[in-house]
Structures are given as C-alpha cells and as structure tokens.
Amino acid sequence: MSGLTRSPWVIHYDASSCNGCDIEVLASLTPGFDVERFGIINTGNPKHADIFLVTGSVNQPNRDVVRSIYEQMPEPRVVMALGICATSGGIFRECYNVAGGVDTVIPVDVYVPGCAVRPEAIIDGVVMALGILEKRRLRLRQDAQATSGDLRIERATAEDIPEILTIQKIAYRSEAEIYADQSLPPLQQSLAEITHDYERMVFFKGVINGKIVASVRGYDNGQGTAHLLRLSVHPYFQGRGYGQRLVAAIEQSFPACRRFEIFTGHRSERNQHLYGKLGYARFKSEPFNPQVEWVYMEKQRS
Amino acid sequence: MNSWGHVLIRVLIYLVAAPLLGGLLAGIDRRISARMQSRVGPPLLQPFYDVAKLWSKEPIVVRRSQNFYIIFFFLLTVFTGGLFFCGSDLLLVFFALTLSGIFFILGAYKASSPYSFVGASRELIQVMAYEPIVLLTAVGLYMATGTFQVDAIWGGAFHPLKALPGAHIPVLLLPGVFVALLYAMEIKFRKSPFDLAASHHAHQELVRGITTEFSGPTLAMIEVAHWYENVMLLGWIFLFFGSCWPAGLIACAVTYFLLLVVDNVCARVKWPVMLRSAWGMTLVFGFGNIVVLSLLK
Amino acid sequence: MGLIPLLIAVPFLIGLALLLITRDCIRKPVVAAGVLAVMAGSVLLAALPSISPNLFQLPLLQGVVNRELANRAMLIVEGAISLYLIWVGLRSSQWQKWLIPLLVVGQAALLLPLELGGGHHPAVAQNLFCDKFSIIMALIIGIVGGLICLYALGYMREFHESHHPEMPDRRNRFFAILFIFLGAMYGVVFANNLFWLYFFWEITTLSSFWLIGYKGNDESRRNARRALVMNLAGGLGFAAAIYWQVRSGHPASLDAMIASGAAVALLPAALLAFAGITKSAQLPFSSWLLGAMVAPTPVSALLHSSTMVNAGVYLVLRMSPILRDTTAGLLVASVGALTFLATSLVAITASDAKKVLAYSTIANLGLIVLCGGIGTPAAVWAGVLLIVFHAIAKGLLFLCVGVIEHKLHSRDINDMSGLILKMPRLSIMLQIGMAGMFLAPFGMLISKWAVLKAVVDAQPLLSFFIVFGSAATLFFWVKWMGVLLEVTQPHANVERNIGRGEWVALYALAGLTFGTCMLFPLLSSFLIVPYVKAQYHLADFSVMGQGNVIIMIIMLALVSLFPLSFLHYGRHVKVVDPYLGGANTGQGNQFTGSAGAVHGMSMQNYYLSAMLPEAKLMLAGVVLAGLLLAGLLLGVALV
C-alpha cells in the first residue's frame, strides 16, 4: 500500500443538503468513529484534499461552487456523493432549482446512498474510494509522459461498461430536459441491454486521469456503412472538443466502411452542430414519438 | 573537536536523523493528542504516510513562482539546523532561521489568495512576537556562558559566573528566559492558542492559512521542513542544560508534552493577545532575567 | 594641490557654475562630468596604496592656498550665512522669529571672539586629515552621492515637466546646491580643524534648508524652517564644543581631542555628540527628517538618508574613543537605542513609502549612534559597517520609490500591489534594497549581528531595545515585500520612459548592495579593521571569526541561487484559481456573492495602528530622549 491509501484527506461540501448527511460526516470525526485512525483528515481545503465528499442535491448556485472546488483539487482525486440526494437528486430531483445529483456537475466515483448516510457507510465508501485512488495514482505514474488532464481515447473493455452506462445517463439528462421526456432510450437502457450492445458493437471511451468521462459506440452493418450512436460526454467536460475526437477515433476503427451514419433529436441543436462540423449532413428524419423526431445524418469517407 | 571531518559527520547525521525524529515526534504528537480527546488516533508513522502521499500528488499552483520560495524555505531551514547542530554561532542560527521563515511568508504572499495572504500576515505577526525572546535567549546564554558558540555551550566550556552555584547549567541562571522561551515555543510549534497562521485542525476561519495554496510535493516539503525545525527547537531547549545531557533530554520530553497539553486545552486567541502576551512575557521574565544577571555580574 | 582639497573645491566650483546654467542640454554634460570627477576622485583616494596621512599634510595645501586666507574666506562666508539665516528667521512666524536669530547669534557669540582673536588659541597643525574612515565616507559621498545626482537629472526633468508644471523651474539652483553640498560633505569628512568642520557642517545645514523648501509651498517652507531650527540647535552645541576646547587651552582639532582622551575632552565630545544627534535626526529631533520628506526624492536620498544625516553619526563615531565607558557615552547610546526602537515600531503604522523609509533611516542611524555611544572597538566596527550598508541600500530604496511615485502617481504602499507586473525591474531592485536593509546574510544583518554582540559585551541592558526593534523592523519590511509580490489581477507594464541616468543609478546601487555584501570581508579587512586598530591602538582586532564569515558567504551564495529557480518558471505545474470558498468567477480574485453579484477583493496589510499609536509613541520617545539629552547637557553644564 502506498502513502495515498493510508492518508486520504477529505474536503466536505454541502451542495444544498438538509444537513442530515453533514451531521453524519462530522460524526465520523468524533471519538466514536475516529476516522483519523485511518489517516483520514478533514482538510476543508481543496488544494490539500484527495477525496471530495458532497452531500445534498446540487442546486443551481452551487453548480459553479462544486465545479470550482473539484477543479482546485490536485490529481489523483476521487469524488464521493454522500446520501441519496447527492447520488441522484433524491426527493429534490424534480425541484425547479436543482440540477440533480452531484454527477450532473462533476464526475462521481463512489455513490453512498442513505437518508441520512450512516458514518459506517461513509467510512465504507472511503475505503472503496481508496482502491480507486490507488488505481488512479498508478495510472498517473504509468503515463508520466502525458500531462495530467490529457484525454486518452481507447477501446473500452467489458469492465468499463457500468461506468459508461453511468456517463451515458448523466450526459443524456440534458437531452431529456430539451424534450421534457424521460423515456429517451439512452436514459432507459439497463445494464443487461448495454452489455448486449457491447457484444455486437465497438465501444470507445475517453479517459482523463483514469476516470471515464466520455464514450461512443458503433457497428458495421455489413453493407459498408458504420452506424455510430450514444456519443456521451460528461457535462463537466463538454465544450472541450472531446466529442469530436471520440467520433474521429471511432471512424478510424471501421476501415472497411465508406459511409457513416448517426442520429439525434430534431431539437438537439448542439448535437446537430457538432456533427455538422464533423462533416455529417442531414439526409432523412422520422418520428420517434409525438415529442421527438429523429434526425439522421450521414457522411461519406473521402 | 572542530575539525572539518567531524563537522561533516555531524551534519550528515543531522540531515538523516532529524526528519526521522521530527516525523516520529509529529506521530507521537498526533497520537497523544488523540488520546487526550479519548480517540484512538492515527498510526505512529502517519506523518510519513502523509508526506509520501503528498509527494505523489500532482503539482498545482496559483502563481507560477510561488513554489520557489518554499524550496528556499526548505533549504534554509535545513541549513539552519545544520548550523545549529554543527555547533556554530547561535546568533547566526537565529538570523538564518528568520531568513527561512521570511521565504515561507513571501511564498504565501506570492500565492496571492486572500487566505494565504492573511495567513502570511499573521505568520509575520507571530515572527514579530517571538523574535525578541529568541534573540534574548542568545543574549542570556552569552551572559551565562560567555559564548555564542553552540558547541561551547553544550560542552559547558567557559563560565564567567562559575562562582555562582549551579553556574554550569545555564537554565539555573536563566529561568526567566527559559520560561519566556517556552511561551514562544508554543508559537513556534504552531500550537493552540497561537496557531493563528495555520492550524493543524480543519474548519477554521482561515482554511489552512499560510499553507492554503501549497499542495502536493510543496506541502510535503513544508511538512518536512517543520520536522527539521522542530528538532532544532528542541535542541534550543537542550541547550539550556549545557553539558548536563540527561536533564536536557528529560526537559525536551517534558516541554513537548507541556506544549501538547496546552494545545489541547486552549482555544485560539486573537493576534493582539498573542503579541501583547508574548512581548509581555519577554519583557517581564526574559528581560527581567537579563537585568538580574547583569546585576550579578 | 592635493587630492583632498581638490575633492572639496571641485564640487563647489561645479556648483557655482551650475547656478549659471539654465539650459538642460548644457546642464546634463556638466553634471555628468562633475559626477564622474567626484567618483573618480573618491575611488582614486581609496585605491592609491601609498596613501598615508602625511601625503595630505599642510604643505601640500599651503602651496596653493594661504592658510590664513582660507580662514578669512571661511569667516566671511560664515558671516554671510549668519546674516542670511537671521534674515530668514525674522521673516518666519511666531516663535521661530526669535529662535532662529537667537541660535545664530548664540553661535556667533561663542565663535567670533575666538576666530577674530587669531593667535590666542593653540594652533592646529593640520586643518585636513585623512584616515580610513574618511576614505570610507568619501567613497559613499562620491559613489552613492554621485549616482543620486545622476538620477536627479532625469527625475527633476519629469518632476517639473509632468508633475509640477505650475512650479517655477529652479533646477539650476537645485543642482548647484547638490554639488555645493557634496563639496561640503567632503569638507566634513576630511576636516580636522574644528573651525573648518563647523564651517562645512553649517553649509550642509543650509543646503538641507534650501532643498527641503525647494517646492516653495507653505508645507515645505514650514518643514524647512523646522529642520533649520533643530540643526542650528545642534550647531550651537558644536560651537560650544569648540569654545570649550579652545578656552581650556587645547588645539581645536579632532585628532587632538581624540588623543587627549576622556579625562580632558569628554565635555566637548559630549557636545559634539549632541550636534551629531541633531544632524542624524535622533529623538527628540526626529520630526525634522520626517518633514524633510516633502523635498524631491533625490534630496531625500542624498541628504536625508545616504550622506548628510551620516555626517551626524560620523561625528558620533569619531567621538567614540572618548565616549567609551563613560556616563555620557551611555546616555548617547541610550538615545540611539531608544530612537531605534521607537521609530522601528512607528514605521509599522506608516503606509506612505517615503515615511517608512524615513523612519527606517532614523532607526538605523539610531543603531549607529548606539554603536558610537558604546564606543568599544567592536561597536565602532559595526557602526562603520552600518553606515556603508545603510547608505547604499537606503539610497537605492529612495530612488526606486521616487520612480514609482512618478509612474503610479502614488507612494502609498497599498498602491504597490502587483508592482512585480507593473514595474518588474524596479520591484526587484526594491526587494534587493529591502533585503539589504534587514535580511541575513545581507549587509545590515552582518552589522546587526556585530551590534548585538558589542552591546551584550558592553551594556547588556541596551539589548532590550535591539531585540524588540529588530522584530519591528522585520515586520514592516516583510509586509512591504509581500505587497510587491502579490498579484491579484493582470496589470500592464508601466515601466517606460525612465531616463538612462536613472537606470544607471538604480542598477549601480542594486549591484553595490549585493557587491558590498559579497566583498564585505575585504571591506572590513582593508578599511574598517585598520581604522579601528589605529583609533584604539590595537595590535590585533577581529570581530567576526573566520568560521562565521564562511557561513555568511555560504548563506549569501544560497540566497543568490534563488533567481536561478526562475529558470524553471511555470514548468510542470498546473495553474488553478486561488481558493475562494469555491465562489470563484474565474477572473482573478473576483468571487460570486449572494444573489449572483460579482465582487472584487483587495488585500491589506496589518498596520497595528491601534496597538502602536504613532503620535503617542513618538511623544513618549521625544520625552524620554529629551530627558536623556537633558541629562547629558546638564552633566556638561555642571562640569
């Protein structure tokens, strides 16, 4: 074990919690639980912290704060969502001023449910986080040449699938908001379904400091056309060109195909703009349900 | 005694042993503190794990040059300790320590964040609070032993006041200076009630004060520098016992324990209280002692 | 004509010539040539290995100038000055109306009979002399003073053209006085005859009076008169010292005084130390130096930090063999120590850069006076070293502040935040100067080490003032350095349109600050140690052991590695925002407050003004120092 796993320093932030979880976090510091036994210190300073504990669903003013604290933590770092509100938005999920769970703002590594979350569960979660921290540290050391924060794009493996599903569901929340429709397929997909997808499709993932932040999948229809779908980038990392790089990478992996096809909703202007930039042009559209119409776009390999 | 080889060996021993000892002390410190709060506390080697962890973290800064100051803070602190343990001039040791402290403060100023700025300002007040008694320590030891050379004081070499009973142990001539220095030690060790610039404990109004903007390897360097410094500070206590080293060792242990007790039973004070009381102690006990000593002469 | 009379006379002549030159394009080469001349002369004086006091004895001077003639000329000039000062006094208001003429008349009443009496008093064998101390002072006057004159060329142009267009351009008079002042300073440090010394002394007082009042507004005139009154009071002490020395049948010369020792010369020595204390603006006379800060910055640098105020401590240090181990010496030392402590504490509360520098100047002069009062060889060694380091570093600091004031239109320290971006080179020089003022292993700290050692050996109780004063010194310098370094938002570089003369002076002084520290062992062994040995008739003398010198040099080497770290600037680090509780806006130090409002922030230092009330502290200092000096003068009167 390295020093990292013996000395996880945490920073705790309440993103709009009812304070139930906060009290439990602080309770873990008391003599009854004494997390300092494990070298855990509550630093109150992102620059010193390894683990970011967030309680409560994230309301709108706190989006920037949570991002800012996350940004100021040095790698390797791990984010833990404590309590049911932080993991999914909880009972505040549909609230007008709530963005959702923590993972709608920054990538989350460990979800600890509970209302309120128990100190034992917190400590258990931290132990889980330690494994992730250690993995990430080794990963960072491996690609010491690459500067930290660089996106690495590679083929996903079977064990990445649950994480990719998480990213997909986070990324497609904004789509659901556009159409006010939670029934969009990417949001409804189950682990069994995506595992089935994995058996017949090529999955690509975008990784930053050991954390999957984006993915795309695609398959060859056997007639020279590759269908690409479910391009997802975590909201925190959107607008950095990662989507373009992923699509370019997956296109490369179908050398036999001359034509590429991709589809999105008719009101998803950002997506259409992105695909347009990549050389895709609209060629047909068909209704999916009364609210949503799929727009199909294609591109010929030059 | 003072051959170059001899000095070199002492410096080497210091360079290796001081951080080990300092880290261990910090571990003992945290464990005893935990026990005082009826907790179990971290493992004894926890400070070493912390530093190893920090060393493996990514370097982040606010201002690109802020870490340079810390590197020199580290180098100068180590250098100061080296000066002290190879037995050179006590005044120079104090001046060099001040220099290293100033690099630390300037680094925090450079980081330009409000928390580190306030931390730096408070650290500066702390330096101003303990500087007089530190210098008076040198003056007192000089009056008691006739020399500024650490080596000679340890050796108990020369005492102009030999006629006085107990003159071979400086602390017997300098009880006031010693008491005032103990008071200043509470500041130097960054313990409550004087942990104004940077507290060991979280959730204070200053975040982490002077170290707020330093992270990863730089923070590790600051920690190790403090280990070096703490060992040297205990060396100062030791110095008061001249050649009587068993008493010196016991005094160091008792002092450290005392600092811990005070740390655990006191709440942090505001800076004016610290400055006034530290200067008051210096004036009454430290300078009073000097006055008495000069009358005895 | 010998080198020394030339050194005194040439600046006077250049000064008179400059009075007639009103065009800047002619003034420039003349000033530059004059500066080169004084620098070359001073360096030559120091460098000639064959120098011995004999070389400059009377015959050399007499060959050209008739000694009697010189005395007569001085008498006439002195008389003219006295009449002028009486006229100045009569034109001023209230109490000064009486005080100034009274002081002038008092001096004249003491000295005129002696001077007119001619042969009645023992003749002075040598009017001028030259030892290592004089050479050190001459080097300071020539090099530091010369550089400041060079700087003044560009500074005064900008002063008149951009900043004070409403003021009449009297630059010809300004530069004339600067050079006359330089000549007078050479006179002060080379004069052996007390009458001559007194003559040059009065000229420096007069120059200071003129230059403080240069701006011509009410404030500057008022401050100029205050400076005049206090310096004239010192002059009265000086005159009394001469009167006593002559009346008691001893030659009125420095070497005779020092040779006769404390038993004979203690009384005039105490009076001369009193004169020195006024000139060096020690408490209770400190207020004139603070008032003198209204003058243009080159004046503050030249007269009020690097040279003229040094004349005061020069005299005190000259007297130290006599003052050693006497009550008078202890009183003088106490005044110095008290001044050091009080002004260092008060400097914490000041945010005006020039005021901080002024307080720090007074404080450092206090330390030197302390050395002079203690008067042991080690103390004198430390005192001379302090003069050297202080003159260079403080000159540099004043010149930097002058440029900064012109560019930022403020000399408030709080406005210097981010200076490292606004004026990178100047802020680095400012840092060097400050490091030179208080940081180990730079110059002042070497001296402070020696002072503390000397004090503990001689008078341990005075260490009280030093330990607390040093702590305060550290505080106000470091907080200033911090402000220069911190950067909260991007700034444009405004370091433009700074004249070549100004850069030359700044670079040279910054280099000297560093160089004198590097070469301080040489400075010590070639100039200061021989002086101390000769003065105290010691066969063997050393303050600092070789080991300590080596440690200092290692430290200096270590610190000079610091700039090298900037080669690594910005590599392998990720830059993030400062921690603002997560409320960052991504724009420097702005944060989002409640209801989404964006706030900026600024950071201010501690000034501790509630704990250290400036007026009360200074008053206490003035009263205490006044009592000490009253004791000194009372002692004199009783004897």
Among candidates A6, A37, A75 on the partner chain, residue whose Cβ is nearest the Cβ of B41: A37
* Residue that is written with structure tokens 């056997």 in the block: A222
C598 touches A at CB < 8 Å: no
Question: In whole angstroms, what is the distance from residue B67 CA to residue A47 CA?
Answer: 14
Among candidates A37, A72, A137 on the partner chain, residue whose Cβ is nearest the Cβ of B56: A137
When divided into structural domains, chain B yields a total of 1
Q: What confidence tens digit (pLDDT) does each residue in C347-387 have?
A: 999 999 999 999 999 999 999 999 999 999 999 999 999 99
Among candidates A3, A37, A76 on the partner chain, residue whose Cβ is nearest the Cβ of B42: A37
ipTM for the assembly: 0.94
For residue B201, what pLDDT is reported? Answer: 66
Q: Is C94 left (phi over 0), alpha (psi -120 to 50) or beta?
A: left
Q: Closest Cα of chain A to C572: distance in Å?
A: 8
Q: What confidence tens digit (pLDDT) does each residue in C287-310 have?
A: 999 999 999 999 999 888 888 899
For residue C56, what pLDDT is reported? Answer: 46
* Residue A44 CA neighbour count, 13 Å, CB half: 16
Chains contacting A with at least 3 CB pairs below 8 Å?
B, C
For residue C66, what pLDDT is reported? Answer: 62
At position A289, the amino acid (one-letter code) is N
Residue B103: pLDDT band (50, 70, 90) is very high
Contact residues, chain B, for A25 at CB < 8 Å: none
Instruction: Work out the angle at residue A162's Cα, subtended by the Cα atoms of residues A157 and A164, and round it to the nearest 5 degrees.
Output: 70
Search chain C and give the residue with CA nearest B114: C603
* Residue that is written with structure tokens 């030339």 in the block: C6
Q: Let me know: does C426 contact C404? Beta carbons within 8 Å.
A: yes
Among candidates A39, A74, A141 on the partner chain, residue whose Cβ is nearest the Cβ of B42: A39
Q: DSSP string spanning C433-492?
A: HHHHHH-TTSHHHHHHHHHHHHHHHH-GGGHHHHHHHHHHHHHHHHHHHHHHH--SS---
Domain ranges of chain C: 3-15+26-50+132-575+602-638
Among candidates C440, C479, C548 on the partner chain, residue whose Cβ is nearest the Cβ of B121: C479
Q: Let me know: does A2 contact A135? Beta carbons within 8 Å.
A: no
Q: What confidence tens digit (pLDDT) does each residue in C487-535 have?
A: 888 888 888 888 888 899 999 999 998 888 888 888 888 888 889 998 8
Contact A74 B40 (CB under 8 A): no
Contact residues, chain C, for A61 at CB < 8 Å: 592, 596
Contact residues, chain C, for B79 at CB < 8 Å: 554-555, 558
Among candidates C574, C581, C596 on the partner chain, residue whose Cβ is nearest the Cβ of A149: C574
Model pTM score = 0.91
Q: Let me know: does A267 contact A176? Beta carbons within 8 Å.
A: no
Cβ neighbours of residue C588 closer than 8 Å, sequence gap 6 or more = C488, C489, C490
- Nearest alpha-carbon partner for C208 in C236, C179, C237, C177: C177
Q: DSSP string spanning chain A?
A: --HHHH--EEEEEESS--SHHHHHHHHTTSTTT-GGGGT-EE-S-GGG-SEEEEESPEEHHHHHHHHHHHHTSPSS-EEEEESHHHHH-GGGTT-TTEEESGGGTS--SEEE--TTPPHHHHHHHHHHHHHHHHHHHHHHHHT-SSPTT-EEEEE--GGGHHHHHHHHHHHTHHHHHHHT-TT-HHHH--HHHHHHHHHHSEEEEEEETTEEEEEEEEEE-SSSEEEEEEEEE-GGGTTSSHHHHHHHHHHHT-TT-SEEEEEEETT-HHHHHHHHHTT-EEEEEEESSSS-EEEEEEEE--
Contact B60 A74 (CB under 8 A): yes
Please give the average per-residue pLDDT across B33-47, as a whole number. Answer: 92
**Pairing between strand B60-61 and C574-575?**
parallel
Task: Quote the DSSP letter at residue C591.
Answer: E
pLDDT at residue A147 greater than cutoff 70: no
Task: Quote the DSSP letter at residue C496.
Answer: -
Q: Let me know: does C565 contact B72? Beta carbons within 8 Å.
A: yes
**Pairing between strand A211-220 and A225-233?**
antiparallel
Contact A69 C576 (CB under 8 A): no
Q: Let me know: does C392 contact C512? Beta carbons within 8 Å.
A: yes
pLDDT at residue A1 greater than cutoff 60: no
- List phi, psi (to 5°) of A216: -155, 155
* Residue that is written with structure tokens 């341990």 in the block: C460
For residue B160, what pLDDT is reported? Answer: 60
Q: Which residue has the higher pLDDT, A23 or C89?
A: A23
Contact B109 C463 (CB under 8 A): no
Q: Closest Cα of chain B to C437: distance in Å?
A: 13
B148 touches A at CB < 8 Å: no
Q: What confidence tens digit (pLDDT) does each residue in A55-76 have?
A: 999 998 898 899 999 989 998 8
For residue C60, what pLDDT is reported? Answer: 43
- Cβ atoms within 10 Å, residue C2: 18
Question: What 3-state DSSP class applies to C412?
Answer: strand
Question: In whole angstroms, what is the distance from residue C141 CA to residue A239 CA?
Answer: 65
Question: What 3-state DSSP class applies to B120?
Answer: helix
For residue C33, what pLDDT is reported? Answer: 92
Whether the bond into A255 is cis, omega within 30 of 0: no
A69 touches C at CB < 8 Å: yes
For residue A223, what pLDDT is reported? Answer: 86
B135 touches C at CB < 8 Å: yes
Q: Which tokens go with A243?
A: 């989507």
Contact B57 A76 (CB under 8 A): yes
Search chain A and give the residue with CA nearest C584: A68
Best of B57, B113, B214, B219 to mutate (most A CBs within 10 Å, chain A): B57
Cβ neighbours of residue A28 closer than 8 Å, sequence gap 6 or more = A35, A40, A119, A122, A123
Q: Closest Cα of chain A to B214: distance in Å?
A: 7
Contact residues, chain A, for B50 at CB < 8 Å: 3, 7, 9, 39
Task: Quote the DSSP letter at residue C526.
Answer: I
Question: In whole angstroms, what is the distance from residue B2 CA to residue C260 CA?
Answer: 44
Q: Let me know: does C280 contact C234? Beta carbons within 8 Å.
A: no
Q: What confidence tens digit (pLDDT) does each residue in B150-173 have?
A: 888 887 755 565 556 666 788 888
pLDDT at residue A106 greater than cutoff 70: yes
Q: What confidence tens digit (pLDDT) does each residue in A274-285 have?
A: 999 888 998 888
C566 touches A at CB < 8 Å: no
Contact B128 C475 (CB under 8 A): yes
* Residue that is written with structure tokens 């003069």 in the block: C387
Q: Closest Cα of chain C to A198: distance in Å?
A: 37
Q: Closest Cα of chain C to A141: distance in Å?
A: 14
Search chain A and give the residue with CA nearest B59: A74
Q: Domain of B231?
A: 4-295
For residue C244, what pLDDT is reported? Answer: 87
Q: Closest Cα of chain C to A163: distance in Å?
A: 27
- Cβ atoms within 10 Å, residue A169: 17
Contact A64 C583 (CB under 8 A): yes
Contact A2 B52 (CB under 8 A): yes
B275 touches C at CB < 8 Å: yes
Please give the average per-residue pLDDT across A34-43, as a whole number. Answer: 89
Contact C584 A66 (CB under 8 A): no
Weakly modelled stretches of chain C, pLDDT under 50 = 1, 53, 56-64
Rounded alpha-carbon distances, angstroms, from residue C302 to A11, C150, C210, C500 = 56, 11, 14, 19
Q: Which of A140-154, A249-263, B168-182, C261-275 has the lowest mean pLDDT?
A: A140-154
Q: Is A41 left (phi over 0), alpha (psi -120 to 50) or beta?
A: beta
Helix C463-485 and helix B90-111, axial crossing angle in degrees, nearest 10? 30
Q: Closest Cα of chain B to A59: distance in Å?
A: 23
Contact B57 A74 (CB under 8 A): yes
- Nearest alpha-carbon partner for B208 in B286, B116, B281: B116
At position B225, the amino acid (one-letter code) is A
Q: What percent of chain C is modeled with pLDDT above 70?
A: 95
